[in-house]
Structure 1
Amino acid sequence: MNAVAMRPAVPADSEFCFQLHKAAMGHYVAAIWGWDDEDQRAYHDRGFEPDRWQVITVDGVDAGALVVEYRETEVYLGRIELHPHYQGRGIGARLIQSLIDTAAQRGQHLILDVLAINTRAHAFYRRHGFREVARHGENNRKIRMRFTAGRPTSEDR
């Protein structure tokens, strides 16, 4: 079993996080919008706030990024990305389970959005008990998913 840990992001992690996004999500972005390095870098620069991001490490090596918002009524998973080299090893499952546990302790739903084209991630979240609750964005490109601890509500069916 790999040692998975989190560390706060620092400004110097910006390039790592950009390259991670390109490796983990670039083909999905390219399929929807086309990948333009300059546009994607500008988008990344606008959204990278080190005080809100965490770097996922595996055996002491930077392997991914996580952004979680603890809102008044829900826990929102804004981003979870693992470099493809680290995918399929159960690391994402461990991180998701930890977030599920945190949301349950808070008595809140765990919410996330996934690109509809990312069928692998959609199936991953369904296997972990998330349910689709809405589609949104241009041409319904995003799927809103929710995990509800305990018994499903009528909204989850």
Structure 2
Amino acid sequence: MGAYIAQIWGWDEDVQRGFHTRAFSPGRWQIITVDSADAGMLHVERRHTEIYLARIELHPDYQGRGIGSRLIHSLLQQARRRGQDLTLDVLAVNQRAHALYRRMGLHEVARHGENDIKIRMSTKPPLRGPSHGS
């Protein structure tokens, strides 16, 4: 995520270490392992009305292998079984992830954050405005 963070806010090592020290909660995060190696992390919140993918990160050495797709597909199946939507937020500059989520059937439902830097995506279809046809 470093390249995206630097692109949006610039990189300050001390700020990033402080952020991660405050935000890190090992009880919520799962380590993604591939062939006994730590490959990334996952944080999923199972809420009353939805499954929220709070974070998924894969080390660049493990990206492009279908690992993220398999994890998201599993969450999509869980959401369907529970009669819920899968929802997540993605940084607008992360076009690769945004494209993956669209291919997997998620839709943009909102933009938020300072200067709309985040895109909320969900399996719930986006709301359509009123039709102005005759």
TM-score by length of 2: 0.92
Amino acid at match of 1:155: L
Q: Does 1:32 align with 2:27?
A: no
> Between the two proteins, what is the percent identity of the paired residues?
64
Q: How many residues align?
A: 129
Segments of 5+ residues of structure 1 without an aligned counterpart are 1-24
**Structure 2 counterpart of 1:59:** 35
Q: 2:112 maps to what in 1?
A: 136
Q: Distance in 1 between matches of 2:42 and 2:126?
A: 30
Gaps of 5+ in 2: 130-134
Q: What is the rounded CA distance, in whole Å, between the counterparts of 1:104 and 1:60 in structure 2?
A: 30
- The structure where helix makes up a greater share of residues is 1
Given that 2:44 and 2:54 are in contact with CA atoms closer than 8 Å, whether structure 1 keeps it comes out as yes
Task: Quote how far apart the aligned CAs of 1:46 are.
Answer: 1.1
Q: Aligned AA for 2:127?
A: E
- Inter-partner Cα distance in structure 1 for 2:54 and 2:47: 12
- 2:131 pairs with 1:155: no
1:100 aligns with 2:76: yes
2:86 corresponds to which of 105, 110, 135: 110
Q: In the alignment, is the contact (CA less than 8 A) between 1:132 and 1:156 conserved in 2?
A: no
RMSD value, Cα = 1.4
Choose from 15, 40, 58 the match for 1:82. 58
Aligned to 1:15: none
TM-score, normalised on structure 1?
A: 0.79
- Cα deviation, 1:96-137, whole Å, max 9, x if unaligned, reads 000101111111110000000111110010010000000000
- Rate the CA distance shift 1:154–1:65 in 2: closer, same or farther, 3 A: closer
Higher relative contact order (CA 8 A, sep 6+): 1
